Structure 1
Amino acid sequence: MDIRFLESFITVAECGSIAEAARRLNLTPAALAQRLRTLEQELGHSLVTRVGRTVRPTGSGLAVMDHARKLIEATRDLRAIAANDEPAGQLRLGATATSLTGLLPDILSRLRAQYPKIEYFIRPGASVDLYHGVVAGELDAAMVVRPQFPVPKSTGWLTLREEPLVLIGPEGMVLDDPKAVIERNPFIRYDRNQWGGQIVDRYLHQHGLQVREWLELDALDAIAALVDRGLGVAIVPDWAPPWPHGLRLQKRVLPDGGVRQTGVLWGRSGARISAVRAFVQICGGEAGSGVQA
């Protein structure tokens, strides 16, 4: 049985769509459908069925999903174990939106050049979700905002960037008096459910600022684009470039605004630990900082 066919089935079940699953797997829908048919013929049962516009697992599909995931995981571990401490196998990474574009590409480029036997799975997401993914062992490492509580001893932490809070306004706006600017203009808030948004919220409370909030969202690039269009001002961490192309913004670092630390959280054990250590080593070289024990 080809393990890739099991991975295809799991992806279809998670996406609820052959077209979306095909995009994720870089296959044509026809090729993905053929993989499913072949797998169903090997097992002797239908695994998925169409319900309206979605595709859902059948009873047989649901019955084999957990076993399929364990088999896929075991196969990935075997590749890493067989490498005999050489970094190899699939490295499961998570990354926030700004890390995915601003930090991860250069790191993966260097890692791939030094350790070509490592394969990658990357899950985008919010810091809190990726944090729990690492702690639960679903991810080997993740680039996240540092939580405001100690990380578990089963994990390690490496700070990559110290990102001060900045006030951003549209082109031509004078930001000499941040308090007046924040209180007199419509305010676009960085989502308080995000760890970075909570840093912004603490700044507002600590300085007694009353804002005219009209929108709250968790996409920093979208916040910057809205400010560029003159729809308000915002406080955001000064995240790693690139920022959205073509923005014309005024930016001012806020004194005593605190910082958002972006870094790598990783699990200290597992079959892929050699690949994880290689990843952290490359990250450390990029950051030029020490690793937290």
Structure 2
Amino acid sequence: MDIRFLESFVTVADCGSIAEAARRLNLTPAALAQRLRSLEQDLGQALVTRVGRTVRPTASGLAVLAHARGLIEGARDLRAIAANDEPAGQLRLGATATSLTGLLPEIIARLNARFPKIEYFVRPSSSVELYHGVLAGELDAAVIVQPQFPVPKSAGWLVLRDEPLLLIAPEGMALDDPHAVIAQHPFIRYDRNQWGGQIVDRYLRQHALKVREWLELDALEAIAALVSRGLGVAILPDWAPPWPAGLRLAKKLLPAGERRQVGVLWSRSGPRAPAVQAFVDICADCAREDRTP
């Protein structure tokens, strides 16, 4: 059985569409349909059926799907094991929205140049979800905001960026008295369900600041865009560039505030350990260069 055909079936089941699955796999719909037919002939059962415009697994397909993900993962692990301690196989990574654009591209570019046998899967999500993904073994490593509690000994942690808090306001607004600005203007809050948002919340409470809150979001770029349009002010970490193009903002460093630390969390064991260590080493190199004046 060709493991690529099994991967194609899983992708179709996840997407509910041959056309969408084909786009994700960089195949033509005809080529993907041929893979499905070959897999069905190999197993002797129909695996998918059309329901309107969607494609759904049959009863046999659902039974296969329950085991297919483990088989695919096992095949990927075999590639890493067969590499005999050379970084290889699929590296399953997670990244928050800002690290996905500001940190991960440079890290992966360097890693790919040095270790071309490594393949990549990247899951974008919140720090909380990615943290649990690494501990559950769903991800090998993730670039996240540092949790406010110790990580378990089964995982490693390395700080990549130390980000101060910024008051951001529409361009042209005077920020000589940042606390007065925060109190007097509509406040757009960084979501308190996010670890970074909890840092902002602690700053407000520590300085006894009452805000005219009208919106709470977990997307830093969206908050900055709203402020740029004159819809309020906000406190955000000074995240890794690039920031969205065309923003018209005034910024003021809040030196007395807690800083948001962004780093890489990784699993210390598993068949992909050489690839994970290579990833961590590249992260460390990038962090050192970022701190160099």
Normalising by the smaller structure, the TM-score range is: over 0.9
Name the counterpart of 1:205.
Answer: 205
Name the counterpart of 1:37.
Answer: 37
Name the counterpart of 1:124.
Answer: 124
Structure 1 residues 83 and 179: alpha-carbon distance in aligned structure 2, compared to 1, 3 A threshold: same
Name the counterpart of 1:187.
Answer: 187
Name the counterpart of 2:81.
Answer: 81
Kindly state the Cα deviation for residue 65 of structure 1 after the two structures are TM-superposed. 1.5
Kindly state the Cα deviation for residue 52 of structure 1 after the two structures are TM-superposed. 4.3
Q: What's the secondary structure of 2:163's corresponding residue?
A: strand
Name the counterpart of 1:55.
Answer: 55
Q: What's the secondary structure of 2:164's corresponding residue?
A: strand
Letter of the 1:104 partner, please give it.
L
**Structure 2: distance between partners of 1:80 and 1:178:** 53
Letter of the 1:135 partner, please give it.
L
Equivalence map 1:1-293=2 (5 Å)? 1-288=1-288
**Structure 1: distance between partners of 2:121 and 2:184:** 45
Gaps of 5+ in 1: none
Kindly state the Cα deviation for residue 262 of structure 1 after the two structures are TM-superposed. 0.5
Structure 1 residues 79 and 192: alpha-carbon distance in aligned structure 2, compared to 1, 3 A threshold: same
Question: Between Structure 1 and Structure 2, how many residues are aligned?
Answer: 289
Kindly state the Cα deviation for residue 11 of structure 1 after the two structures are TM-superposed. 2.0
**Structure 2: distance between partners of 1:163 and 1:170:** 21
Identity %: 79
**Structure 1: distance between partners of 2:147 and 2:195:** 7
**Structure 1: distance between partners of 2:197 and 2:59:** 42
Deviation string for 1:34-75 (max 9, x for gaps)? Answer: 322322222222223334444332221221113111111111
Letter of the 1:108 partner, please give it.
I
Q: What's the secondary structure of 1:55's corresponding residue?
A: strand
Structure 1 residues 217 and 21: alpha-carbon distance in aligned structure 2, compared to 1, 3 A threshold: farther
Deviation string for 1:195-234 (max 9, x for gaps)? Answer: 1111111111111111111111111111111111111111
RMSD of aligned C-alpha atoms?
1.5
Letter of the 1:217 partner, please give it.
L
Structure 1 residues 30 and 171: alpha-carbon distance in aligned structure 2, compared to 1, 3 A threshold: farther
Q: What's the secondary structure of 1:196's corresponding residue?
A: helix
**Structure 2: distance between partners of 1:34 and 1:276:** 35
**Structure 2: distance between partners of 1:187 and 1:19:** 43
Letter of the 1:251 partner, please give it.
K
TM-score (norm 2): 0.94
Kindly state the Cα deviation for residue 147 of structure 1 after the two structures are TM-superposed. 0.5
Gaps of 5+ in 2: none
TM-score (norm 1): 0.94
Letter of the 1:219 partner, please give it.
A
Deviation string for 1:96-132 (max 9, x for gaps)? Answer: 1111110011111111111111111111111111111
Q: What's the secondary structure of 1:175's corresponding residue?
A: coil
Deviation string for 1:143-191 (max 9, x for gaps)? Answer: 0111101101100000000011111011111111111111111111111
Kindly state the Cα deviation for residue 91 of structure 1 after the two structures are TM-superposed. 0.7
Q: What's the secondary structure of 1:91's corresponding residue?
A: strand
Structure 1 residues 205 and 20: alpha-carbon distance in aligned structure 2, compared to 1, 3 A threshold: farther
Q: What's the secondary structure of 2:230's corresponding residue?
A: coil
Structure 1 residues 20 and 258: alpha-carbon distance in aligned structure 2, compared to 1, 3 A threshold: farther
Kindly state the Cα deviation for residue 15 of structure 1 after the two structures are TM-superposed. 2.8
